[in-house]
Amino acid sequence: MLMTGNQYIESLRKLNTRVYMFGEKIENWVDHPMIRPSINCVAMTYDLAQDPAYADLMTAKSSLTGKTINRFAHLHQSPEDLVKKVKMQRLCGQKTASCFQRCVGMDAFNAVFSTTFEIDEKYGTQYHQRFVKFLEMVQENDLVVDGAMTDPKGDRSKAPHAQADPDLYLHIVERREDGIVVRGAKAHQTGSINSHWHIIMPTISMKEDDADYAVSFACPSDADGLFMIYGRQSCDTRKLEEGADVDLGNKQFGGQEALVVFDNVFIPNEYIFMAGEYDFAGVLVERFAGYHRQSYGGCKVGVGDVVIGAAAVAAEYNGADKASAVKDKIIEMTHLNETLYCCGIACSSEGQKTKAGNYQIDMLLANICKQNVTRFPYEIVRLAEDIAGGLMVTMPSEKDFKSDTVVGRNGETIGDMCNKFFAAREGVSTENRMRILRFLENICLGASAVGYRTESMHGAGSPQAQRIMIARQGNLQQKKELAKAIAGIKE
């Protein structure tokens, strides 16, 4: 069953998810002004799936049940599926100008599906059929699942088992006949509060001493012993201001991150997908990272489309849209954005079938895609800020523009002064100029930066992680042999 956006929001109210912010428990987190914009982003992924115009991108036929499902719960069955994933993500980015949060779960599904198949093949375990049963439930109920990989890590020079505090990597603390008990945390978790379930994965390659840390499982977001501490963002408390509107920039949508803490959480056997098979920890990490690095060739491009559009509107309102230098900056932004998209499409088109039957992206090109994402959005934002002008960060508040406090010799108010001196070109209201500048501030520097600028650097692995994979996948020896053959070198 495909839910609507409203049905999704109402489904969250049925959960007993424990959410903390500013040191206090948030009872009605679904309607909290700082959290609700991120929920609206997820709701958009449901509403777009209900729109016949987007059905081909937003829905797919389940390879498990044959039913129509949301593509965010789909196992990729071909390179075409991988391409549609990227196009879907671009669409969602265009519609929200923020992070819509379901990509991590989708990427986890596909990584865990193929990895559990190969674990069972080697060890005779039953992880794969457990996972398939779990995913069928997710698809049938159209659920949001948070893919959680990143551990706090502590001292990066030490392996998980060697940490002064063993909980700095999530690990198994007790093994029972009916399941396991886990303790630790997952950090920077995108959309965790807005998810019905979590699927947990190890965060790095591991050796035998780290077997208890090589764990993957699913659990409901309101599981006993699980709680979340909301991560604050720049300008976030503006949402708490009475009557906040223009100053919010992107009022309707926003991203979300949280620290997810597991305080001795019991996981039944039916939801365990790895429990000590340390030799497959790195396999799962690399596959998830590959899928998620592909994702950035879609979602960041969609948001980039909106940034480019906003910069163009700002130039128009400033009366600078006909200047050749401004036109050239817009061209450069478009060039960079479409280059990111090219990489996302390329790694998808070169996808290959796994042993389990789903399709995996080309790993080298996926890492090239994400390496570019760590750079190009920063330049796109720089150019947007250049075009917008300094007023983007020096503008008085919305209350000042509306103030009736008299300050002028002839009875002019603070509002009169603000509207007079920050007027746009003829035919454009001061308020509209203010709105587009606040919108750019929000994406470039504020709350939406977590879904665009800063996340472009660290999401799906920071730059060095991609460079390690590029070195591993680049096949330098073959390139050397090609050069030797043409140069006539025989050794």
In the residue annotation, 99 being an active-site residue is answered as: yes
Q: Kindly list the distances between the CA atom of residue 257 and the CA atoms of 186, 229, 233, 310, 449, in Å, as whole numbers in the listed order.
A: 11, 9, 9, 25, 12
Q: How many residues does the chain have?
A: 491
pLDDT band at residue 446, thresholds of 50, 70 and 90?
confident
> Helix, strand, or coil here: 130?
helix
Domains and CATH numbers, the chain: 5-280 (2.40.110.10), 286-481 (1.20.140.10)
Q: Are 447 and 234 in contact (CB under 8 A)?
A: yes
Residue 319 pLDDT greater than 80, yes or no: yes
Span 285-294, mean pLDDT? Answer: 97
Q: What is the pLDDT of residues 206-231, one digit of tens each?
A: 999 999 999 999 999 999 999 999 99
Share in percent of the chain as helix, strand, coil (round to 5): 55, 15, 30
- Based on the residue annotation, tell me whether 413 is a catalytic residue of this protein: no
pLDDT at 235 over 90: no
More reliable by pLDDT, 405 or 448: 405
Q: Given 235, 299, 418, 444, which residue is catalytic? A: 299
Instruction: Tell me the pTM.
Output: 0.96
pLDDT score for 114:
98
Percentage with pLDDT > 90 across the chain? 95
Residue 395 DSSP symbol:
P
DSSP string, 337-366: HHHHHHHHHHHHHT-EE-TTSSEE--HHHH
Predicted local distance difference test score (pLDDT) of residue 39: 98
Strand partners, 69: 60
Average pLDDT in the 387-416 region?
96
Q: Is 179 exposed, middle or buried (0-12, 13-18, 19+ CB in 10 A)?
A: middle
Catalytic-labelled residue, pool 99, 235, 343, 444: 99
34 vs 32: CA distance, rounded Å: 6
pLDDT at res. 448 = 66
pLDDT category, 454, cuts 50, 70, 90? Answer: confident
pLDDT value at 449 more than 80: no
Check whether 447 has a pLDDT greater than 70: no
Interstrand relation of 197-200 and 145-148 (parallel, antiparallel or unpaired): parallel
Give the whole-angstrom CA distance, residue 357 versus residue 352.
10
Say whether 455 is catalytic: yes
The residue from 271, 296, 341, 359 that is catalytic is 296
pLDDT (tens digit per residue) in 333-366: 999 999 999 999 999 999 999 999 999 999 999 9
| Model confidence at 475: pLDDT above 70 | yes
* Choice among 277, 385, 398, 455 that is catalytic: 455
Q: Give the chain's mean pLDDT.
A: 96
Tens digit of pLDDT for each residue in 81-137? 999 999 999 999 999 999 999 999 999 999 999 999 999 999 999 999 999 999 999
Q: In the chain, count of helices (H) and strands (E)? A: 17, 14
Mean pLDDT of 232-246: 92
Told to judge if 103 belongs to the known catalytic residues of this protein, a careful annotator would answer yes
Q: Is the dihedral of CA 392, 395, 397, 400 positive or negative?
A: negative
Catalytic: which of 115, 190, 203, 374?
Answer: 190
Given 76, 292, 317, 385, the catalytic residue: 292
Alpha carbons 14 and 349: distance in angstroms, whole number: 40
Question: What value does the mean pLDDT take over residues 252-281?
Answer: 97
Active-site option among 45, 74, 96, 103? 103
Quote the pLDDT of residue 196. Answer: 98
DSSP per residue, 438-487: HHHHHHHTSGGGGGTHHHHHHTTS-HHHHHHHHHHHS-HHHHHHHHHHHH
> Nearest CA to 395 among 426, 359, 431, 361?
431
Per-residue pLDDT at 234: 86
